[in-house]
Amino acid sequence: MSETKNRKLALIASKGSLDMAYPPLILANAARMSGIDVDIFFTFWGLDMITKKKMDKLNVATVGNPSMHPWFHIPTWLGAIPGMSAMATWMMRKEIDKLDFPPVGEFIQLVSDAGAHIYACKMSMDMMKLTKADLFDEAEVLGAMEFMEMTEGAQVLFI
C-alpha cells in the first residue's frame, strides 16, 4: 500500500506593508481550509507582519507602489506628499473591514491555529536586531537553508 503525502505550500513573505500582508495570509488560509500543509517564511520587511510591535500597525506605501495609483486615481508624484500614506492606509483598512478580513495580527493567529507553520528568517532578524521575544509567540526562527530543506517538494510562492 503506497503512502499518500499531503500537498505542501511554502510561502515566502518578504514585504511588510499592509497591502502586501494579506496575499500570503489569504493563500495560507485557503490552503489550510483545503487540507494543504502550509509553511510561511517571513524575511526582510516581511518580518514586520510577525513582529508584535508592528503587526497591527502596517501601512500602505504610496511612493514606489505604482499599483496603488490607479486605485486611488492619483499621480505617482502625489504619493510623496505628507499624509498620503496615512490616507491610503485608512482607505485600505476601510476596504478590508468591508470584506470582513481580520487585522493582520489576528489573521496570523488564525492561520497558525489552523495549522500553518510560521517561521522567521534568522539572517533578517539578525540584520534588524530582532529577538524571538519580539515576534508573534508561535513563530519559530530558522535559516533560509533549513526552510528550503524542510519545504522540499512543496509549491513555493514568493510574495
* pLDDT higher than threshold 50 for residue 33: yes
Asked whether residue 12 is domain-assigned, the answer is yes
Gap between the Cα atoms of 69 and 125, Å rounded:
32
The pLDDT of residue 79 is 58
Of 4-8, 13-17, 85-89, 94-98, give the lowest mean pLDDT range: 85-89
Asked whether residue 84 is assigned to any structural domain, the reply reads: no
pTM of the complete model? 0.85
- Does 3 have pLDDT greater than 90? no
Q: Is residue 48 part of a domain?
A: yes
- Cell numbers found for residue 145: 537553508
| Residue 73: predicted pLDDT | 56
Residue 1 lies in a domain: no
Report pLDDT digits (tens) over 73-102: 566 655 556 667 777 777 777 888 888 899
Q: At what angle do helices 18-33 and 104-113 cross, to 10 degrees?
A: 20
Structural domain harbouring 14: 8-56+103-158
Q: 22 vs 18, 87, 107, 111, CA distance in Å?
A: 7, 18, 9, 12
Number of domains in the chain: 1
Asked whether residue 25 is domain-assigned, the answer is yes
Q: What is the pLDDT of residues 58-78, one digit of tens each?
A: 988 765 555 554 455 566 655
In a domain, 121, yes or no: yes
Residue 31 in domain? yes
Per residue in 94-144, pLDDT tens?
888 888 899 999 999 999 999 999 999 999 999 999 999 999 999 999 999
Is residue 95 one of the residues assigned to a domain? no
Among residues 113, 153, 158, 122, the alpha carbon closest in space to that of 140 is found at 122
Report the phi/psi class of residue 73: left, alpha or beta, with left for phi > 0 and alpha for psi in -120 to 50.
left
SS3 letters across the chain: CCCCCCCEEEEEECCCCHHHHHHHHHHHHHHHHCCCEEEEEECHHHHHHHECCCCCCCCCCCCCCCCHHHHHCCCHHHHHCCCHHHHHHHHHHHHHHHCCCCCHHHHHHHHHHCCCEEEEEHHHHHHCCCCHHHECCCCEEECHHHHHHHCCCCEEEEC
Q: The domain spanning residue 141 has which CATH number?
A: 3.40.1260.10
